[in-house]
Structure 1
Amino acid sequence: MSDEIKTTNFIHDIIDADIAEGRHQTIVTRFPPEPNGYLHIGHAKAITLDFGTALKYGGRCHLRFDDTNPEAEDIEYVNAIQEDIKWLGFDWGEHLYWASNYFDRMYELAVALIKKGKAYVCHLSSEEFKDYRGAPTEPGKEPPGRKNSIEENLALFEKMKNGEFEDGACVLRARIDMTSPNLHLRDPAIYRIKRAHHHNTGDKWCIYPMYDFAHCIEDSIEGVTHSMCTMEFEVHRPLYDWILEELDVFRSHQFEFSKLNLTYVVLSKRRLLQLVNEGYVTGWDDPRMPTLCGMRRRGFTADAIKKLCEVVGCTKYEGITEIELFESIIRDDLNEHSLRAMAVVDPVKVIIENYPEELEENFELPNHPQQEELGTRTVPFSKELWIERTDYMDDAPNKFRGFTVGREVRLRGAYLATCNSVEKDADGNVTVLHCTYDPETKGGSAPDGRKVRSTIHWVSAKHAVDAEVRLYDRLYTVENPLGDKEKDFKDFINPDSLETITAKLEPILAQAAPGTRFQFERVGYFCADKDHTPESPVFNRTLTLRAPRKK
């Protein structure tokens, strides 16, 4: 058993018992995404459980694309899914599979069910069949065609395969029990006609297996021992077991766990696609999206996402996790691993009157206050600086930590400086602070031992880099955007979820590689965007330094 994954849960307890009783020697799991969209934070829980379980028990986890619905699938999604899984730190090795590779075998097994009298061709539409299926508290009725002979059904299914029926004209149904309290056992459709070009099989097939029929067969063919699904598939498990038992093939077993749900987040792929198609976001990787590529672009770390999944755990309890917990985990991770830099997002000019006009100095500042191994960086200093507008206040109280006229403040790592006067525009907004500095305080400390409580960050105006900075916030204004049945979830989109500004950055930030994370000191956590270049720097705000107060 691997020492890498030490967490345990009820599924691992089952696996421990299976191994102890000799039911399995090698544990095989799978992650089976449909290539019809990008992975989101909810998928991360399934990925960490599927791959993490295989790692824990020294087994293997298959990546299998469940490509049984060609109309909605795209190779773009296939590539993105693989990239996201690898970003999270998992690898399937040689075990990459496609449901479509098993289409021939699935067809053979469907024929085998017909020959056993366990499947038949039904010409009812899906709406018409609902009348026959009935309700959970009432038995269904036997649909037309259920008593057709095996020979008739074999011939009809052959015609379906050969394209002799129009799309939707008929389906192949499993013949189970029209009186079962579980509606999924009331003769579910297992094959339908769909004339659509498939990325893998081309135009070979005009019939495709339904998910419930295909999924268990895929697991069986691959020898999956523990097939883990979210709780909505619990009612499908009897059908999963029935198909494998009737076909007399390797019996994989399905186990269900609760989804990961977060406040202020919508995880429906259909709704996420709406946001993309209707222009509410810039794409699947918009940093406001809960997709893994969006979170990566915003600056969230793979370790923080995996930590959230570990903290939430694997249970059958359908709860909802507060977004503040996730953000706290991210902040802890970023605080430990992010490089430090100085940036001014709402700039006000400072002129140091007694600093020589032609003088420029360089100060060595640590890249991380607690990690000397991360080294230092060179930060230029000159007569004119930029500071944050919020670091000046007229008639400031003693607890205020910035400039006010007559107060001495420490410019981080540089000098002590005192504000003597300010300039304001016609609206009363401060535009320039006129200050003097003490040349004897180089490095930011006074040789006479005088104490200065306030330390602020700054950027040399002469060397500053102008950068586009995107201030991202939560995409929705309410904890549960799907909770009001009278409104559309898009009614709760936060109009202030993105503010774009021009900020003043210390020059080294222009050279950052896309994806590099920083703590802009006293401002927040930021990440160089994928479009960031030295000539056109772009940074995304990952999170503020501290959690906002709840309203």
Structure 2
Amino acid sequence: AVVRLRTSMKARNYAFRDPVILRIIDHPHPLKGTKYRVYPTYDFACAVEDHEQGVSHILRSMEFTARVDVQGEVFDAMGWARPIAIQFGRLSMEGTPLSKRKINPLIRSGVVKGWDDPRLATLRGLWRRGVHPEAVRRLILDIGPSKANALITWELLSSYNRKVVDPLANRYFYVPRPKLLVVRSSPEVEAVKLKLHPSFPERGWRELKVKSRAGVAEVYVDSQDLEALSSRKFRLMGLFNVQVEGEEEGVAYARYVGDELIDPKVQWVPAKHYVKLRLLRPGRLLSDGEVDERSLSEEEGVGEEACASLKPGTLVQFERVGFARVDLVEEGFVQAVFTHR
């Protein structure tokens, strides 16, 4: 049995044609058992709750447009002032769900690690990924309260975020896929100082302890860089220029070839003064509507010693790699989440 709200069966809005507002159900309720027999439907319950809570404005997506007439009629029948209802188009994010109804099962099944999983576009997930709240604010204001649905791409969000975090993020060296590079005939270098941020010298400097001895300096360099530059001179950023001469038993050897500024430049980390660094790289959680179990990868590398003093939540830029947010700091170990280039 049901109770209907008397309106008109000729209404153009199908939802307004004598809508059901109460149901009589004898089956036991999963939480209340047999205590009640009459239950309100969505429209009646929303109208009563909005009135009881003093709601003045209702903001919701376009699929609820048909419910405005029904809930407004309940307000009129009860002698209450109608709140203002505003409908807007839904936002969707490329490659990840926004609906709690879709995210909850992913969390319960362990597909994602929680509401702050960096593959999610929840506010907690975005912040863990290194997306600044101001970037989200600017993007939403630019999109505006349109009635048309909008698809946000990660590239679009990244472009907004880059403008916000670039002046905030200090620079550090991180070397993925590290390989030991022994530089011969190098000058005696105890340490080099590099700016924390090229545009803000007042922030100070960071120090990388090279401690070259007897014409030999040892550093870690990305093995892919060494392979790509095996026949070229290149510059170790802020240090000096080298030319790779060969490799033996997994160790690369190079010679010092000057100090003039040249390209290309590669980042490096002192071989005896570093921290282990793991970089989480979140990708698109959904591919063609299916969960991609490889959408969160882990990359092991080494970072300069100064990374050990960073606090969780700090936004940084790993030079030649990209922006990241520090996720975890332990003795001799740092974990960060890659944001974007």
Does TM-score exceed 0.5, indicating one fold?
Answer: yes
1:378 paired residue among 186, 193, 207: 207
2:320 paired residue among 504, 514, 522: 522
String of CA shifts for 1:431-457, please: whole Å, max 9, x gaps: 33212336x74xxxx3xxxx5222211
1:274 paired residue among 77, 98, 105: 105
1:466 equivalent in alignment to 2:295:
no
Following TM superposition, by how much is the alpha carbon of 1:355 offset from its aligned partner in structure 2, in angstroms?
A: 4.2
Aligned positions of 1:68-467 closer than 5 A = 123=1, 173-178=4-9, 180-185=11-16, 186-190=18-22, 195=29, 209-355=40-186, 361-382=190-211, 383-393=217-227, 403-405=229-231, 407-419=232-244, 421-423=245-247, 431-437=250-256, 441=259, 446=260, 451-467=261-277
CA distance in 1, matches of 2:41, 2:323: 45
1:540 equivalent in alignment to 2:334:
no
Following TM superposition, by how much is the alpha carbon of 1:340 offset from its aligned partner in structure 2, in angstroms?
A: 0.9
Match of 1:511 in 2: 309
String of CA shifts for 1:25-72, please: whole Å, max 9, x gaps: xxxxxxxxxxxxxxxxxxxxxxxxxxxxxxxxxxxxxxxxxxxxxxxx
| Structure 1 counterpart of 2:71, one-letter code | Y
Structure holding more helix per residue? 1
Following TM superposition, by how much is the alpha carbon of 1:519 offset from its aligned partner in structure 2, in angstroms?
A: 0.9
Structure holding more strand per residue? 2
Call closer, same or farther: CA 1:192–1:506 in 2, change over 3 Å: farther
* Matched position secondary structure for 2:301: strand
CA distance in 1, matches of 2:277, 2:36: 53
Larger RCO: 1 or 2 (CA < 8 Å, sep 6+): 2
Give yes or no for contact 2:20–2:41 (8 Å, CA) kept in 1. no
Give yes or no for contact 1:196–1:206 (8 Å, CA) kept in 2. no
| Structure 2 counterpart of 1:387, one-letter code | V
- Unpaired runs of 5+ in structure 1? 1-122, 124-170, 395-402, 426-430, 482-489, 546-551
Following TM superposition, by how much is the alpha carbon of 1:209 offset from its aligned partner in structure 2, in angstroms?
A: 4.6
- Unpaired runs of 5+ in structure 2? 212-216
Give yes or no for contact 1:393–1:404 (8 Å, CA) kept in 2. yes
Give yes or no for contact 1:192–1:210 (8 Å, CA) kept in 2. no
Call closer, same or farther: CA 1:219–1:347 in 2, change over 3 Å: same
CA distance in 2, matches of 1:204, 1:507: 65
Following TM superposition, by how much is the alpha carbon of 1:204 offset from its aligned partner in structure 2, in angstroms?
A: 9.5
Following TM superposition, by how much is the alpha carbon of 1:288 offset from its aligned partner in structure 2, in angstroms?
A: 0.8
CA distance in 2, matches of 1:333, 1:516: 14
* Matched position secondary structure for 1:436: strand
- Computing the radius of gyration from Cα coordinates, the structure with the larger value is 1
Give yes or no for contact 2:326–2:336 (8 Å, CA) kept in 1. yes
* Matched position secondary structure for 1:417: strand
| Structure 2 counterpart of 1:509, one-letter code | C
Call closer, same or farther: CA 1:344–1:404 in 2, change over 3 Å: same
| Structure 1 counterpart of 2:83, one-letter code | S
**TM-score, normalised on structure 2?**
0.86
| Structure 2 counterpart of 1:413, one-letter code | G
Give yes or no for contact 2:47–2:75 (8 Å, CA) kept in 1. yes
Following TM superposition, by how much is the alpha carbon of 1:388 offset from its aligned partner in structure 2, in angstroms?
A: 1.3
CA distance in 2, matches of 1:251, 1:223: 11
CA distance in 2, matches of 1:372, 1:218: 56
| Structure 2 counterpart of 1:454, one-letter code | P
Give yes or no for contact 1:216–1:252 (8 Å, CA) kept in 2. no
CA distance in 2, matches of 1:417, 1:205: 81
String of CA shifts for 1:168-216, please: whole Å, max 9, x gaps: xxx6554444554434223223467774659xxxx99887654422333
String of CA shifts for 1:407-435, please: whole Å, max 9, x gaps: 4322212223333x12156xxxxx33212
**Structural RMSD (CA):** 2.9
String of CA shifts for 1:456-504, please: whole Å, max 9, x gaps: 11001101111222122121234xx3xxxxxxxx3xx334312212210
Give yes or no for contact 2:64–2:87 (8 Å, CA) kept in 1. yes
CA distance in 1, matches of 2:157, 2:109: 28
Give yes or no for contact 2:92–2:151 (8 Å, CA) kept in 1. yes
| Structure 2 counterpart of 1:389, one-letter code | S
Call closer, same or farther: CA 1:535–1:465 in 2, change over 3 Å: closer
Call closer, same or farther: CA 1:321–1:293 in 2, change over 3 Å: closer
Segments of 4+ moved more than 6 angstroms: 191-194, 203-208
CA distance in 1, matches of 2:270, 2:10: 78
| Structure 1 counterpart of 2:283, one-letter code | D
Q: Percent of aligned pairs with the same residue?
A: 28
Give yes or no for contact 1:223–1:250 (8 Å, CA) kept in 2. no
String of CA shifts for 1:352-405, please: whole Å, max 9, x gaps: 22348xx762322112112234332222224211111222246xxxxxxxx334
CA distance in 1, matches of 2:67, 2:202: 54
Give yes or no for contact 2:19–2:70 (8 Å, CA) kept in 1. no
